[in-house]
Amino acid sequence: MNARSFTDRDIHLALDGELPEDERAAYQAWLEANPDMKARSLRFAADNAALRGLFTGVLDEPVPARLTAVVKGDAPKRKGTPPWWRMAAAAALLVAGGLGGYLVGASGFGFGPDSDDRMAELAIAAHQTFAADKNRPVEVDGSDPAYLTGWLSKRTGLKLVAPDLSVNGFQLLGGRLVPAEGSTAALMLYADAQGNRISVYVTTGGSELSKGTYTLAGGGPEAVYWQEKGYGCAVVGTLPPAELRLVAKDAYKQLLAGAGLSQS
């Protein structure tokens, strides 16, 4: 009956479904006759189940936008983009491979000093709290931009303008004051005709120039931020990455011009 004798190799074969059907009965009999082999088999089976159980949750996680963007081809390309933009895109997505065919490294998420990360996190938190509020997203509405920015400027100590983002389809809803790291930030909310909301978060920032994009590890809206000359800004929203970058760039230019800072 027993065509062959079994060894501990067969434990792995059996566990991985590689043992031929007609050998299984003999294998079972061998296990029963060898308690140490049976114990081993049970232990491996338990470790296996634990391993599998540990990672099944990953299948249900939402796929990060940066991964689908690669396949759909709407990840920003490096070529032909303005310099400040190239930096942000490189830091955020490492899309180098899209054109050049070679990736700089598997992990280069260099966000620079921690203060930008913190600012981007606060901006995302403010966006998630207030942009989601259908009825009362702002404290002061945008019907009188001069009044709004006057108030926000006074409270944040920054020279602020409300960027006009209508070319991008976004209208100013209004603004409010929100907490910043050790200070106060201005949050200006915009909406487009489809009801998408984005926010422009402005606060005092570091003097070191830094630019980039940020998304919480769990996903959610993306922040495109920069810090420069004591001025920090993040544009937050859930838009296709390329679109959000365009809007952010526009807002960035206008805020800099409004504050009388030249673009570096």
Partner 1 sequence: MEEKKAAILQEIPRLRRYARALLRDRDSADDLVQDCLERALMRLDNWRTGESPRRWLFTIMHHLFIDQMRKVKRRGEAAVLPLDAGEAMATPAIQAESAASREIVDALQQISPDRRAALVMVAIEGFSYAEAATMLGVPAGTLMSRIARGREELRALLDDQARRRTIRIVEK
DSSP lists the bridge partners of residue 212 as: 225
Between CA 138 and CA 200 the distance in angstroms is: 12
Beta strand residue intervals within 57-204, DSSP E? 140-141, 171-180, 183-191, 197-204
Between CA 93 and CA 73 the distance in angstroms is: 13
- Answer for which of 38, 44, 87, 128 binds partner 1 (CB under 8 A) is 44
Shortest Å, Cβ 59 to partner 1: 5
Dihedral sign, Cα of residue 117, residue 196, residue 176, residue 161: positive
Q: Binding string to partner 1 for residues 130 to 169, with x set by CB under 8 A, is what?
A: ----------------------------------------
Q: Does 258 bind partner 1 (CB under 8 A)?
A: no
Shortest Å, Cβ 205 to partner 1: 18
- Answer for which of 17, 20, 35, 195 binds partner 1 (CB under 8 A) is 17
Q: Please list every residue from 67 through 126 that binds partner 1, using CB under 8 A.
A: 67-68, 70-73, 93-95, 97-98, 101, 103, 105-112, 114, 117
Between CA 175 and CA 153 the distance in angstroms is: 11
Site size toward partner 1, by CB under 8 A: 49
Determine the interface stretch with partner 1 among 61-69, 174-182, 229-237, 256-264 (rule: CB under 8 A).
61-69
The count of other CB atoms within 10 Å of the CB of residue 262 is 8
Q: Which two tokens stand for residue 7?
A: 């060894």
CA triple 219-92-189, angle to 5 deg: 60
Determine the interface stretch with partner 1 among 64-72, 126-134, 145-153, 185-193 (rule: CB under 8 A).
64-72
User: Do residues 122 and 233 make contact, with C-beta atoms less than 8 angstroms apart?
Assistant: no
Q: Does 18 bind partner 1 (CB under 8 A)?
A: yes
Nearer to partner 1, 62 or 260 (CB): 62
Beta strand 183-191 pairing with 171-180: antiparallel
Q: Does 43 bind partner 1 (CB under 8 A)?
A: yes
Would you put residue 195 in left (φ > 0), alpha (ψ -120 to 50) or beta?
left
Residue tagged 């909406």 (tokens): 191
Shortest Å, Cβ 104 to partner 1: 10
Q: Which residues bind partner 1 (CB under 8 A)?
A: 8-9, 12-13, 16-18, 43-44, 47-48, 50-52, 54-61, 63-64, 66-68, 70-73, 93-95, 97-98, 101, 103, 105-112, 114, 117, 217
